[in-house]
């Protein structure tokens, strides 16, 4: 079952691939509906903290499992040591008790270490997965925002160039309209 963040990212990708048209004379730059993209990004921003909290809760649960495993391991070792003490205290079966006690302690220690190792490995895997997942989400958001910024920069650069061309044409036309030597006007045809 995918998260809402994954669904939003899929919607953004689908919107870019299916609904956005390429700018004229370009095969890489597209035109986007700013309101639609802003709405998807706003929802993505709102959902991201919830996703992170969910993964923090998973990590916290894993930490609780690890602590529980440590407690059980300590209890097993303590029980093994109690059994060892009881066996050793009986003089008639001293040698047998010693061997059994060592075996119990060894087994209990091995089982406890295995529980701790497994719990630690699971907790680390979940932490790494949560960090990677969050980084992937942020990388997708960064890519989309960067792409949008590039698109708008190109659009505004084109607008400024068009305005400069219009300005130059107007100045040229005024210069052509001026009467050389006419008093009260400068070279561009304006009043002195």
Return the axis-axis angle of helices 4-14 and 34-89, rounded to nearest 10°. 150
Q: Are 108 and 68 in contact (CB under 8 A)?
A: no
What's the average model confidence in pLDDT over 96-114? 88
Q: Which residues have CB under 8 Å from 30's CB, separation 6+?
A: 16, 20, 21, 22, 23, 151
Tell me: pLDDT of 78 over 80.
Answer: yes
Q: Global pTM?
A: 0.34
Query: In terms of residue numbers, what domain contains 163?
Result: 4-175
* pLDDT band (50, 70, 90) for residue 188: low
Distance (Å, whole) CA 192 – CA 184: 5
Q: Are 192 and 185 in contact (CB under 8 A)?
A: yes
Decide if 19 is inside a domain: yes
Decide if 21 is inside a domain: yes
Decide if 191 is inside a domain: no
Decide if 15 is inside a domain: yes
* pLDDT band (50, 70, 90) for residue 60: confident
Decide if 51 is inside a domain: yes
What's the average model confidence in pLDDT over 145-153? 79
Decide if 184 is inside a domain: no
CATH number at 33 reads 1.10.287
* pLDDT band (50, 70, 90) for residue 36: very high
**CA distances to 77, 84, 85 from 95, in Å:** 21, 11, 13
From the number of C-beta atoms within 10 Å of its C-beta (0-12, 13-18, 19+), residue 158 rates as: exposed
The pair phi, psi for residue 30, each rounded to 5°, is -125, 165
Number of independent structural domains in the chain: 1
Distance (Å, whole) CA 128 – CA 23: 40
Q: Are 48 and 36 in contact (CB under 8 A)?
A: no
E strand or H helix at 38: helix 34-89
Our CA angle for 58, 63, 68, nearest 5°, is 125
What's the average model confidence in pLDDT over 90-117? 86
DSSP structure string for 116-181: HHHHHHHHHHHHHHHHHHHHHHHHHHHHHHHHHHHHHHHHHHHHHHHHHHHHHHHHHHHHHHPPTT
Decide if 180 is inside a domain: no
pLDDT of residue 120: 92
Decide if 128 is inside a domain: yes
């Amino acid at each position: 079952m995918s998260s809402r963040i994954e669904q939003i990212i899929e919607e953004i990708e689908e919107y870019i691939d299916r609904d956005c048209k390429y700018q004229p004379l370009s095969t890489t730059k597209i035109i986007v509906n700013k309101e639609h993209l802003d709405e998807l990004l706003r929802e993505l921003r709102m959902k991201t903290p919830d996703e992170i909290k969910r993964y923090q809760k998973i990590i916290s649960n894993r930490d609780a499992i690890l602590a529980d495993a440590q407690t059980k391991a300590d209890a097993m070792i303590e029980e093994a040591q109690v059994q060892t003490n009881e066996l050793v205290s009986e003089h008639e079966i001293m040698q047998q008790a010693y061997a059994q006690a060592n075996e119990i302690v060894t087994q209990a220690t091995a089982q406890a270490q295995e529980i701790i190792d497994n719990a630690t490995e699971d907790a680390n895997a979940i932490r790494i997965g949560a960090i990677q997942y969050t980084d992937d989400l942020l990388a997708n958001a960064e890519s989309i925002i960067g792409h949008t910024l590039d698109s708008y920069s190109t659009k505004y650069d084109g607008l400024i160039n068009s305005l400069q061309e219009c300005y130059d044409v107007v100045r040229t036309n005024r210069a052509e309209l001026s009467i050389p030597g006419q008093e009260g006007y400068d070279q561009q045809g304006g009043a002195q």
